[in-house]
Amino acid sequence: MADFGLDMNALTSSGLGAVIGSALTLVATMVSHRLQQKAISDAESKHLLGLLQGIHDEIETLWEGYSDSAGVQLEALQVNQPLLMYWPITQDYFTIYNANAFSIGKVADHDLRKLIISTYSKSRGLIDTFRMNNELVQKYEYAYFLFQQTQDPIHQSNMNMHFQALANYSVQLKKRHVELKQMVSELLRNLRKEGVLSSS
């Protein structure tokens, strides 16, 4: 009987040790899981902040470059005056946006996410509008050259027609420019509110 009592005590101690060991393992696993989730969340937050900083810098740099060239010419245009300027568009300028399009969907602020997408979309629209203006300028210059060479009234009429098409189209250019200018200003302001200029 004494042996049975010792065996029961050993069995109880062993069972209690197993329960405590299992509980400690479960707690350690839960703590480890929470720490892992926090590390993943922190890494994602840093990635999103970096993305927003990249978008801010890309938009700000591109807008400044555009404003100092074609933008300033467009703003100086009088009503019904054509933009007789060929603006070379040779590349896809939106490197940060294109490389991170999937991650933009992870931006939690719905309004900011929508504004980012809308601004880039409107920027592409303005670029397409300039491409069309470039084509119209090319046609006008060719018609002008033909008229200068021949002094033919038919070529003069054709030249005038292309000039008027450019003048009409400049209205669309200015409209898109003003819309995008407002969007860029709003986007940069909202990105700065998100802390993209902070050094941390």
Domain boundaries, the chain: 47-193
DSSP label at residue 72 = H
**pLDDT tens digits, residue range 91-132?**
778 999 999 988 898 888 999 999 999 999 999 999 999 999
pLDDT above 80 (res 173):
yes
Q: Which residue has the tokens 């008027």?
A: 164
Distance CA 150, CA 154 (A): 10
Of 171, 143, 169, which is closest to residue 157 (Cα–Cα)?
143
Angle between helices 110-150 and 153-193 (to 10 degrees): 160
* pLDDT at residue 187, as a whole number: 97
Residue 127 exposed, middle or buried by CB count within 10 Å (0-12, 13-18, 19+): middle
pLDDT average, residue stretch 7-32: 69
% pLDDT > 90, the chain? 59
DSSP label at residue 195 = T
Distance CA 79, CA 155 (A): 25
Of 40-44, 149-153, 186-190, give the lowest mean pLDDT range.
Answer: 40-44
pLDDT average, residue stretch 139-154: 96
Contact indicator for 162, 136 with CB cutoff of 8 Å:
yes
Q: How far is CA 78 from CA 45, 124, 171, in A?
A: 47, 24, 10
How many beta carbons lie within 10 A of that of residue 187, not counting itself?
Answer: 21
pLDDT above 70 (res 37):
no
